[in-house]
Structure 1
Amino acid sequence: MQTVAVIGLGNIAKRHRSNLKHLFPDCKLLAMSASGRVPDELVSNCDEIVTSIEEIILANTELVVIASPASLHVQHAIPLLNARIPTLIEKPISMSSSESQRIIDVSLTHSAPVAVGYCLRYLPSANYVKNALDKCLIGKIYNAYIETGQYLPDWRPNIDYRDSVSAQENLGGGALLELSHELDYAQWLLGSLNLEHAILRRSEELSLDVEDCVDIIFKNDAETVINIHMDMLQRKAYRKCRFVGSAGVLEWDLIGNSLKLIDSESETMLYENPSWDKNQMYLYMLEDFINKIEGKCYSCVDINEAHQIIILIENIKSSYNQYQSN
């Protein structure tokens, strides 16, 4: 590719710029801030700063990564898709189902390649989990226990956490949108999620205007009970999943990048590679999207799947919108 662009100047945008330069060392890389301002800070791996979507379109850009706040995704995506420019949107796809539906409608009208950046699907251990469940390795799945937590002030230590996107409702913050990876892979692995109950909490510790702790119970069409816990409070990052089936248990450690099978007689490590470079997830995601652009085999997260996540989140918030304090 000769010209690519990344919208947004945050940490994830920085990662995408670096990875695009790794994949296409000779490409011209355009960088644009989410607001279109001219940045005062140095922008790494950038050949030109632009201040508008129009400049990106006029440059005959062949691929754009949108890494701006979720509140701006539809504003940035629509003109790119109208121009038929392949667009990878960082998760979540948008802040509302009406916005994500607009993205779907425009992409269909113009046949523009588009995908959503749920990178955890590209963990090697994730594919081992998928294969194990598809092969019914542990029989009928009775329960799934999914938990993730990480202390919000540690996410971006260079800024006050209260000023971050994650902490502001109007920018798409809160545990449900920011940690929606868990909703995505639950849906990917277990099928449609039917909401049973949810508890949304705001801790006194962080004093945010968004939920920083969420507990949800779903059932899928096979009557599997799925418990999901997400928080921004745990001082040591934690991300694990446990599947309980009629023939055994699968324990998936996403941070440790491992998968263990437990049955009545033994414990077997099906996969383990804790030192695997997590940046490979993002490279694989870009390469997968490029395969989609080029008409090759791909497994990108479809915008319709991402749209369903937003519908789920809206359903949770509308049904259980009374925040509890803790």
Structure 2
Amino acid sequence: MSASVVVRGSGSIGQRHARVFRQVGADVALWPVRDRGPAAADAVDEATGARLLDDTSGPDAVRGAALVVVATDTSRHVADALEALDGGAEKVLLEKPVAPTAADAAALTAHLRHTLVWVAAPLRAHEGFRHLHRLVRHLTPPGSAHVWSQSWLPDWRPDRDYRESYSARVDEGGVLRDLVHEIDYAGVLFGAPTLLGAAVETSGPLEIESDQAATLLWSTDRSFTVTARLDYTTRPTSRGVVVQSPGGRLEWDIVRATVRHTTPEGDTTDQVFDLDLDRDIVMGTQARAALDLLPTAPADQRIARGAPATLADGVAAVRLCDEARTTGLADGDRPRPPEEPT
């Protein structure tokens, strides 16, 4: 019998989850947030092929579902995850970020069943990332790393005005929340972070109130120093990480799906992971792991399978973003130099 999956939220990411879980063999139902009126018993979403639910049939479908995917607006992530847990779902896969702030996630982390919550982290499902993780474990510390994700926000959804998207909202959008994936995977590779400094930019070429760019610096409990540059004010898109240590240099180019390993002697090996260029394949890896494993499974097993992040990992990543916003001065908040006397 196929595992039953309910996807809460029918926006672009909810539709992708519905389509991908169907591709991996799950019995998928899509429960939109916006009322479409009562769903007929045999109603099917044309875009995904998933069964359509409404507010009457949705709770019944959640009860006993193998997995509920929460793909709603960030501001309601926690409430929808709690509803799924209390409604009887076996596990929950919560889209990133967990909540607008780490404090907003308190009710979820205090729930008796909080260890059954996954947090979407598809970069962990890349073959290139898993290969990089194996190589990093053999490096000799201390080391340094530079993580970056730089792109142009209007290109994300060309058919929609980016200024009307959640990304533009100061209370639930911004580059730190949107690109929290980089914070998450850096924690897996290099260890738990301690923020040393941050600069957060709210002014720039985009007409939005949320943060458009951020530069962070932190140290880790595995003797790495990490810098991160996150922005959606750059063309062309560039995304990856460079790691350096006495044991050599590693480079992961996410856009090109390549990992380069340079030994201390200067010998270089390049590997290409073509399947990482297909987003549905990557999310399919994450989907299978979310169904097959529990978030309490050993970390090595979760990482090897390309599983999502745990709730604790997801909250930790958001907390670092919170600290960056508190520490970093947005452009509009920077003190102005004194005026020259006339």
Q: Would you say same fold, with TM above 0.5?
A: yes
The CA distance in 2 between the partners of 1:291 and 1:220, in whole Å, is 31
C-alpha displacement at 1:275, in angstroms? 5.4
C-alpha displacement at 1:83, in angstroms? 2.9
C-alpha displacement at 1:325, in angstroms? 8.8
Amino acid of the residue matched to residue 312 of structure 1? L
Tell me the residue number matched to 2:339: none
Tell me the residue number matched to 1:37: 35
Amino acid of the residue matched to residue 167 of structure 2? S
Tell me the residue number matched to 2:188: 188
1:22-171 aligned within 5 A: 22-24=23-25, 27=27, 29-34=28-33, 36-38=34-36, 43-51=47-55, 55-57=59-61, 60-85=64-89, 86-106=91-111, 109-110=112-113, 113-136=116-139, 139-170=140-171
Structure with the greater alpha carbon radius of gyration? 2
C-alpha displacement at 1:43, in angstroms? 4.5
Contact persistence 2:145–2:243 (CA under 8 A): yes
- Aligned sequence identity (%): 21
Contact persistence 1:32–1:52 (CA under 8 A): no
Q: Are 2:198 and 1:198 equivalent residues in the alignment?
A: yes
Q: For the aligned residues, what is the CA RMSD?
A: 2.6
Q: Are 2:313 and 1:305 equivalent residues in the alignment?
A: yes
Runs of 4+ in 1 over 6 A off after TM superposition: none
With normalisation by structure 2, the TM-score equals 0.85
Contact persistence 2:217–2:225 (CA under 8 A): yes
Q: Which sections of structure 1, spanning at least 5 residues, go unmatched?
A: none
Q: Which sections of structure 2, spanning at least 5 residues, go unmatched?
A: 38-44, 335-342
The CA distance in 1 between the partners of 2:252 and 2:202, in whole Å, is 28
With normalisation by structure 1, the TM-score equals 0.89
The CA distance in 1 between the partners of 2:220 and 2:318, in whole Å, is 17
CA 1:103/1:325 → structure 2, altered by over 3 Å: closer, same or farther? same
CA 1:275/1:4 → structure 2, altered by over 3 Å: closer, same or farther? closer
C-alpha displacement at 1:57, in angstroms? 5.0
Contact persistence 1:30–1:48 (CA under 8 A): yes
The CA distance in 2 between the partners of 1:94 and 1:263, in whole Å, is 41
The CA distance in 2 between the partners of 1:160 and 1:53, in whole Å, is 33
The CA distance in 1 between the partners of 2:98 and 2:48, in whole Å, is 25
C-alpha displacement at 1:21, in angstroms? 1.2
Amino acid of the residue matched to residue 124 of structure 1? E
- Secondary structure in 2 matching 1:312: helix
Contact persistence 1:3–1:59 (CA under 8 A): no
Q: Which stretch shifts more, 88-97 or 44-53?
A: 44-53
CA 1:293/1:312 → structure 2, altered by over 3 Å: closer, same or farther? closer
C-alpha displacement at 1:14, in angstroms? 1.4
CA 1:294/1:76 → structure 2, altered by over 3 Å: closer, same or farther? closer
The CA distance in 2 between the partners of 1:293 and 1:220, in whole Å, is 27
The CA distance in 1 between the partners of 2:296 and 2:213, in whole Å, is 41
The total of aligned residue pairs comes to: 318
Amino acid of the residue matched to residue 292 of structure 1? L
